[in-house]
Chains A and B, each alone.
Chain A
Amino acid sequence: DARVTQTPRHKVTEMGQEVTMRCQPILGHNTVFWYRQTMMQGLELLAYFRNRAPLDDSGMPKDRFSAEMPDATLATLKIQPSEPRDSAVYFCASGFDFSGADYGYTFGSGTRLTVV
């Protein structure tokens, strides 16, 4: 089965350090999302790419977060500097939007980030 691959699976870092999370979307998918999940807030959208172009990052704290898709096989989410409140599970999801038809998005296994 095709899958979305995220690395690392777990990351523990000290406050102030840079964190980079990577995602390999499913080949052929044209849409990529980054979501953050916490017990308090549930799944929150951070960034949205279609055909590698960033279309929405309004949910992302711009001063410390950045998201890019340098090529079709890689999406990255960076936090610099990290803070304890960034501790969460970060999911990448990819899918294929075509003329309004939709078959759901496939989520990666997530990166569990702990900032101490």
Chain B
Amino acid sequence: GQNIDQPTEMTATEGAIVQINCTYQTSGFNGLFWYQQHAGEAPTFLSYNVLDGLEEKGRFSSFLSRSKGYSYLLLKELQMKDSASYLCAVKGGSYIPTFGRGTSLIVHP
């Protein structure tokens, strides 16, 4: 089976940097996704990592360490619109993405 852990909730200040961690245990590994989900909306794709290292996309970056079963999503220059749930999902040996429970990020002025 698969086990994915992320913090339930985080708060941060507008303009700051926040790091959302995700640890996982899987049978096989074929990639890790980060999704953003605003309240009442569908998840939207942010990033995909399959090799170790950092992937940068504008204000968002995602890091992966396969040996440690660890990833983080880094959000820079936080904006109020970044308040959302951030979902870590791992594609294991079955190639099916399993989602974590999500981290609710609250950005305040």
Chain A interface residue count, Cβ-Cβ cutoff 8 angstroms = 19
In the assembled complex, which residues on chain B have CB atoms less than 8 Å from the CB atom of A106? 45
Whose C-beta in chain B lies nearest to the C-beta of A6?
A: B42
Contact A109 B96 (CB under 8 A): no
Instruction: State whether B97 touches A42 (Cβ < 8 A).
Output: no
B-chain residues with CB within 8 Å of residue A97 when the two chains form the complex: 95
Report chain B residues within 8 Å CB of A104.
33, 35, 45, 48
Q: Which residue of B lies closest to A106 (CB)?
A: B45
Question: Among B31, B42, B87, B100, which residue has its beta carbon within 8 angstroms of that of A102?
Answer: B31
**Residue-wise interface mask of B (72-98) relative to A, using a CB-CB cutoff of 8 A (1 in contact, 0 not):** 000000000000000101010011111
The CA of A103 and the CA of B44, in the complex, are separated in Å by 12
Which parts of A91-116 form the interface with B (CB within 8 Å)? 91, 97, 100, 102-110
Residues on the B chain within 8 Å of A110, using CB: 42
Within 8 Å CB of A72, what residues of B? none
A43-B87, A100-B50, A105-B97 given; name 17 further pairs at CB < 8 Å.
Answer: A35-B99, A42-B100, A42-B101, A43-B89, A45-B98, A48-B96, A91-B43, A102-B31, A102-B48, A102-B50, A102-B91, A104-B35, A105-B33, A106-B45, A108-B42, A109-B41, A110-B42
Question: Could you list some 14 contacts between A and B, CB below 8 A?
Answer: A35-B99, A42-B87, A43-B43, A43-B99, A45-B96, A91-B42, A102-B30, A102-B50, A102-B91, A103-B45, A103-B48, A104-B35, A107-B42, A107-B44
